[in-house]
Structure 1
Amino acid sequence: MRVIRNAELADGRTRDVRIADDGRIDAVGEDLDGETLVDADGMLLLPGMVDVHVHFRQPGDAHKETWSSGSRSAAAGGVTTVVDQPNTDPPTTTGEAFDAKEDLARNALVDYGINGGVTEEWDPDSLFERPLFALGEVFLADSTGDMGIDTELFETALERAADADVPVTVHAEDADLFDEGARERDDADAWSAYRTAEAEQIAVEDAVAVADGTGAQVHVAHTSTPEGVDAAKDGGATCEVTPHHLFLSRDDLDALGTFGRMNPPLRSEERRAALVERLVDGTIDVVATDHAPHTREEKQASIWDAPSGVPGVETALPLLLAAARDDDTALTFERVRDVTAANPADIFGLPQKGRIEEGRDADLVLVDPDETEPIRGERLHSKCSWTPFEGFEGVFPKTTLVRGNRVYDRLGGAESFLPTAGQNVRR
């Protein structure tokens, strides 16, 4: 057995963590017997991030990202499990499409889940025969592609998901509440003006109202407003926020230009600050990245023609850790641990993930909280090689383990990835 020694856990305790040969945590304690894997010497040891919202672009758009490149980026950012969304080409709406995507996902360095999509042409019978992670990102009223559905189909999907005991992740924006007058503008802020905050709030309220009585477990994706978060919580749903909605606002759009276009869009500085308050006080359940890479050339278009989405799987945990070490914030390492690992594991039924406890998978991330680095797109491992967080400070992993296998390491100075095979967490 191998032991990580003298690691500081998120709650401040210093402990050894012993890893069994099967990749699970054998014990957490003091002065544990075993071969020393790492002497952490007071460095911070966290459970690997469970990122329940990524778009790794395969099949269909491998020029933007692949399971190989995306999972390398994840491992370098301390993410040990990713969940891919269904709006690929073809969309993951049938059992055949699921199988084709899983064949590609076996190239991942980290563990993974695959969501099934809902469209007018979906095949729920064949989908529910597969080891789905969840349904969704289910688009309501508006879509990025051809994934949008009406209320009747949404209710059917909720009922089928409840019968199969599968959660439903919802993208909630009501296109009827978009501001068509904003289309007369061509500045960088026009996209945020167009996709209004009210459109999110009302769509969340409608989604939880439709879900009421179906027995379905609803999780609202990438809530970008405090009103959306509160509507989800009031309706009995869980919710996630993204790093870009926590760290960026409409005030940043002059600098970002079309590289700051995403769905939902960036909000006001006041709403951003209110999201951070809800992150700190425990209202927000999960931080997930909505990692959605596009090439530089694709983003260098007009605000109405550029694709929506930004990369984030490699920078989410480093950004949160840098914020938690800052005395000017109330964010703690324990809270970062909960929203990135423990809570998503609990919400989505992953008893083997999310905590540093005996019997759990040894999905572990070791960082030096005293060492920050500027985020540079050219140093990241996503195929798109840019980031909306250029110049921000991050606390990056020194080593990342998935089920006890070291998949990323730079403890000796030189960066290396160690080949391993990710597994479907539902199998």
Structure 2
Amino acid sequence: MLITGAELADGRVRDVRIRDGTIESVATGLDAAAGERVVEARGRHILPGAIDVHVHFREPGGSHKETWRSGSESAAAGGVTCVVDQPNTSPPTVDGDAFDEKADLAAASLVDYGINGGVTGNWDPESLFQRPLFALGEVFLADSTGDMGIAPDLFEDALAEAAGRGVPVTVHAEDETLFDAAALDGDLGGAGTAATADAWSAYRTADAEIAAVERALDAAAGTGAQVHVAHTSTPEAIDAVVDARESGAAATCEVTPHHLFLSRENAGRLGTFGRMNPPLRSERRRTAAFERLRDGDVDVVATDHAPHTVAEKRQGLADAPSGVPGVETLYPLLLESVRNGELSMERVRDVVAANPASIFGLPSKGQIAEGADADLVLVDMADPREIEAGALHSACGWTPFEGLRGVFPELTVVRGSVVYERDPVTGAESFGDPVGRNVREA
């Protein structure tokens, strides 16, 4: 395949030739070979495929919410060419047998993937680390809403184990002892009201996140473990990671699109569909987090794609599960911010592709360079579209970003295979066959 006349993130216009799954050439004036497919890309941007290091594709145990096939279709249609699935499925990915079960299901994926192992009171690190594990994560520090929260001593054991094996640890940091139970009094029913959505934010306080991030960083400092803090929702937590890194720690952080583009001011529209962990923060904190993204303090933007059915989310606050879908709208929302002048194209490229590849040891991904995996996305920055749930591909059938605008891909390629294509004129879509592979087996 030859893609001609495309603009890179840095503004250079280049032709890109793909051969045998990798990028053979990035140059100008390349001529098509006999029988080679040519994609004329003048006026469009070519970007490295996004690496979403935080998704929940729900299989095994939750295929009514999402499957590897539906989740990877959603990823491909959004320009995500590699995902990292978290361990809190059913059964949780805490031993070798559970890992193997998930890996068999992941064979249906259109995009490349990594599988994170989990840490619970009955995890089996010996069998787990015998598999091509991507990382330990999402390791829950005292998460009161699930069954995977762990005590501080087990967390320190997991850090030491991971450090000894050179495996990163992704941490979900909230301290349940700092949750404000009074915020939920009398506000547990009535799905769809601003009060219920906002009460969840008041309940899971900002201080609970900040304290847990600081505790996780302190514990990691004693083991030398590489720690990646998931879905930081407060500027204070981001600053703590930056301070730790400047002091020599191997510490990084991610922020989600829902914490960058939504706040407690959206509670009325979202109702219980706005329940997620960590919760939405104040508009002031949202703006401050976005500023840190723009200024380079945020390492990664990842989605925490956590689909649930509409019926599940319509329950009252006590019963509605936490989480929102987002893998398909990651690149589109950030690219719309480029259109608006809020972010540079190079910054977006770095936080969704180059940085995740560097942090998690994927040297062949996250870049458009000779010899790299041909994971590519073609977009027309002059063609933003309104985000509509009915046009997305996740099995859950809804999005918290309804009505916002985004720049969606026309073409997504994984290691040279076209996994998604949309005709720019007719809008007709097509998906390729499963080509995903475990990136730790590559």
Q: Which residue of 2 aligns with 1:159?
A: 160
Does the CA-based 8 Å contact 1:8-1:45 persist in structure 2? yes
- C-alpha separation in 2, matches of 1:260 and 1:169: 23
1:407 and 1:230 map into 2 onto residues whose CA distance is 38
What is aligned with 2:204?
A: 195
Find the counterpart in structure 2 of residue 28 from structure 1.
26
3-state SS of the aligned residue for 2:366? coil
Q: Is residue 2:315 matched to residue 1:304? A: no
SS of the aligned residue for 1:235 comes to: helix
**Which residue of structure 1 lines up, in the alignment, with residue 404 of structure 2?**
392
Name the amino acid aligned to 1:18: R
Deviates more, 1:158-167 or 1:181-190: 181-190
Amino acid across the alignment from 1:26 = E
Aligned length in residues: 423
Answer yes or no: is the 8 Å Cα contact 1:405–1:420 preserved in 2: no
CA–CA distance in structure 2, aligned partners of residues 119 and 37 of structure 1: 50
* Post-superposition CA distance 1:359-411 (Å, at most 9, x none): 10000000000101100011110011100000000100000000010000013
Amino acid at match of 1:238: T
Alpha-carbon offset, residue 37 of structure 1: 2.4
Do 2:107 and 2:434's aligned partners in 1 also have CA atoms closer than 8 Å?
no
Q: 1:372 aligns with which of 384, 391, 411?
A: 384
The answer for unaligned runs of 5 or more in structure 1 is none
Note if contact 1:50-1:344 (Cα within 8 Å) is conserved in structure 2.
yes
Q: Which segment drifts farther, 287-296 or 139-148?
A: 139-148
For residues 233 and 148 of structure 1, the distance between their equivalents in structure 2, rounded to whole angstroms, comes to: 25
**In the aligned structure 1, how far is the partner of 2:183 from the partner of 2:69?**
39
Alignment of 1:136-155 (within 5 A): 136-155=137-156
Residue 143 of structure 1 deviates from its aligned partner by 4.6
Match of 1:219 in 2: 228
* TM-score, reference length from structure 1: 0.98
Q: Indicate the residue corresponding to 1:75 in structure 2.
A: 76
- How far does residue 32 in structure 1 lie from its aligned partner after superposition? 1.6
Paired with 2:23 and 2:182, the residues of 1 have a C-alpha distance of 56
Does 1:383 pair with 2:383? no
Residue in 2 that maps onto 1:98: 99
CA separation in 2, counterparts of 1:87 and 1:420? 24
Which of 326, 345, 360 matches 1:333?
345
Match of residue 348 from structure 1: 360
Q: Percent identity?
A: 68
Contact 1:14–1:42 (CA<8 Å) still a contact in 2?
Answer: no
RMSD across aligned positions (CA): 0.9
Letter of the 2:143 counterpart: D
Is the aligned partner of 1:257 residue 2:280?
A: no
CA contact (8 A) 2:272 2:316 kept: yes
Match for 2:63: what amino acid?
A
2:272, 2:186 → 1: CA distance?
A: 13
Q: Distance in 2 between matches of 1:426 and 1:255?
A: 41
**CA positional deviation for 1:183:** 1.8
| Structure-2 change in CA distance of 1:185 and 1:278 (3 Å) | farther
Shift in Å, 1:144 = 3.9
How far apart are residue 301 of structure 1 and its match?
1.1
CA distance in 2, matches of 1:364, 1:325: 20
Corresponding residue for 1:6? 5
Q: What SS is found at the alignment partner of 1:38?
A: strand
Asked if 2 retains the 8 angstrom alpha-carbon contact of 1:169 and 1:221, the reply is yes
Q: Is the 8 A contact 2:4 2:15 kept in 1?
A: yes
1:36 CA displacement: 4.6
Structure 2 counterpart of 1:337, one-letter code: R
Taking structure 1 as reference, are residues 156 and 396 closer, same or farther at Cα in structure 2, changes over 3 Å only?
Answer: same
Amino acid of the residue matched to residue 95 of structure 1? Answer: G
Q: Partner of 1:303: helix, strand, or coil? A: coil
Contact 1:205 1:235 in 2 (8 A): no
**Residues 149-207 of structure 1 deviation map (CA, whole Å, 9 limit, x = unaligned):** 11111111111111111100000000000112102141221000000000000000000
> Which letter maps to 1:215?
G
Partner SS for 2:17? strand
Secondary structure class of the residue paired with 1:310: coil
1:113 corresponds to: 114
Distance 1:165 1:31 in 2: 43
How do 1:257-276 residues align onto structure 2 when only pairs under 5 Å count?
A: 257-276=271-290
Q: Distance in 2 between matches of 1:150 and 1:46?
A: 42
Partners of 2:432 and 2:244 in 1: CA distance: 44
**216-225 or 409-418: which moved more?**
409-418
Corresponding residue number in structure 1 for 2:302: 288
User: In the aligned structure 2, how far is the partner of 1:33 from the partner of 1:137?
Assistant: 47
Paired residue for 1:229, among 238, 249, 255? 238
1:18 aligns with 2:22: no
Pair 1:204 & 2:213 matched: yes
